[in-house]
Amino acid sequence: MSQLKLEKKFGQFPVFVPSAVLENGGIPEDVSSASLLKEAIQVISCGYEDKTEWGKEVGWIYGSVTEDILTGFKMHCHGWRSVYCIPKLPAFKGSAPINLSDRLNQVLRWALGSVEIFLSRHYPICFIYPWTSIPLIVYCGLPAICLLTGKFIVPEISNYARIIFMALFISLAATGILEMQWGGVGIDDWWRNEQFWVIGSASSHLFALGQGLLKVLAGVDTDFTVTSKAADDGASSELYIFKKQWTYKCVAVTCSKVEWGTFTIPTKPWKTT
pLDDT digits (tens, 9 = 90+) for 197-208: 888 888 888 888
Mean confidence (pLDDT) of the chain = 73
Euclidean distance between CA atoms 146 and 129, whole angstroms: 27
Q: Is residue 164 part of a domain?
A: yes
What's the total number of domains in the chain? 2
pLDDT at 164: 92
Domain containing residue 205: 100-272
pLDDT at 178: 87
Q: Are residues 211 and 262 in the same domain?
A: yes
Euclidean distance between CA atoms 122 and 116, whole angstroms: 10
Euclidean distance between CA atoms 142 and 154, whole angstroms: 10
Please tell me the least confidently modeled range out of 56-60, 142-146, 148-152: 56-60
Interval 265-269 mean pLDDT: 57
Euclidean distance between CA atoms 162 and 157, whole angstroms: 7
Concatenating the DSSP letter of every residue in 169-201 gives HHHHHHHHHHHHHHHT--HHHHHHHHHHHHHHH
Statement: residue 48 has pLDDT above 90: no
Q: Is residue 114 part of a domain?
A: yes
Q: Are residues 31 and 140 in the same domain?
A: no
Please tell me the least confidently modeled range out of 113-117, 180-184, 225-229, 242-246: 242-246
Cβ-contact 152, 273 below 8 angstroms: yes
Q: Are residues 13 and 108 in the same domain?
A: no
Q: Are residues 12 and 123 in the same domain?
A: no
Q: Is residue 73 part of a domain?
A: no
Q: Are residues 217 and 158 in the same domain?
A: yes
Per-residue pLDDT reduced to its tens digit, 156-195: 778 888 899 899 999 988 888 888 888 788 888 888 888 8
Confidence class for position 25, pLDDT limits 50, 70, 90: low
Statement: residue 211 has pLDDT above 80: yes
Q: Are residues 105 and 25 in the same domain?
A: no
